[in-house]
Amino acid sequence: MGSTCSIVNDTEHDVWITHGVNWMVLILTLTSVFSVFTAGASLAAFGATVGVGGALLGGGALIMTEGGITIGTTAASIAGLTASQWTVAGVVSTLSATSLSTALHITREEAERIQKQVRDFQANSQLIKPGEKYTWSGSLSLTMKVYVMNDKLQVDERACFTGPTAGSENVYPISEYFQQLDVKKKPGDTITVYSK
């Protein structure tokens, strides 16, 4: 008889969760490169940096506003970002490596490495929307290392246990057990690309 362990996404952010494989390299890379976002800089500032660097070329006017980036009438996308709401994870995984390196002031090779690590993590984990939970089963009190990355590319990890008795479940709310992740969305957490 086994038991389960669940990680509950009680945040306002999309998260990707996996367990077992050692993802410490990703955690160290993202923590060092994206510490500027956890220090209070917004994604709008990230968008402005890319725009100033010339990486967001859309074929029309590019206007940075408090609500995000507005592009002119002839552009359907900016550097591959179509009209939509974009998170840091979306921008990093969608921009070209050249655009990302320009925005972050890193080499193209470093940008490619970051994109590969983010994409690999997303491919090997499960997307959990706010209010949903990630669950796995195992023997009683089985401990597994759990890795969580949110749409701001904030990452955290910890050991989590399945329930101690047959059929039981240990539940770990992200807000309580993964405290390196923001719980509430902030005004600068997304960038909006408009196409008129």
62-66, 87-91, 95-99, 179-183: which range is least confident on average?
Answer: 62-66
Cα–Cα distance list, 91 to 6, 96, 160, 185, 187 (Å): 29, 9, 30, 17, 16
Residue 5 reports pLDDT greater than 70: yes
Residues 44-65 have pLDDT tens digits of: 444 544 443 333 333 333 333 3
């690309």: which residue's tokens? 193
Query: Could you list the residue range(s) of the whole structural domain that residue 99 is in?
Result: 3-195
Residue type present at position 182: D
Decide if 20 contacts 157 (C-beta within 8 A). Answer: no
Mean pLDDT of 75-90: 58
Per DSSP bridges, beta strands 3-8 and 169-173 are parallel
pTM above 0.85, yes or no: no
The confidence band for 112, taking pLDDT boundaries of 50, 70 and 90, is: very high
Measure the CA–CA gap between 139 and 152, rounded to whole angstroms: 33
Q: What is the mean pLDDT of the chain?
A: 75
What is the number of domains present in the chain? 1
Residue 99 CB burial class (10 angstroms; 0-12, 13-18, ≥19): buried
**Crossing angle for the helix pair 97-104 and 108-123, to the nearest 10 degrees:** 110
Query: pLDDT value at position 182?
Result: 93
DSSP lists the bridge partners of residue 84 as 193
pLDDT at 72: 38
Q: Residue 195 has what pLDDT?
A: 53
Q: Which of 117, 95, 98 is nearest to 33 (CA)?
A: 117
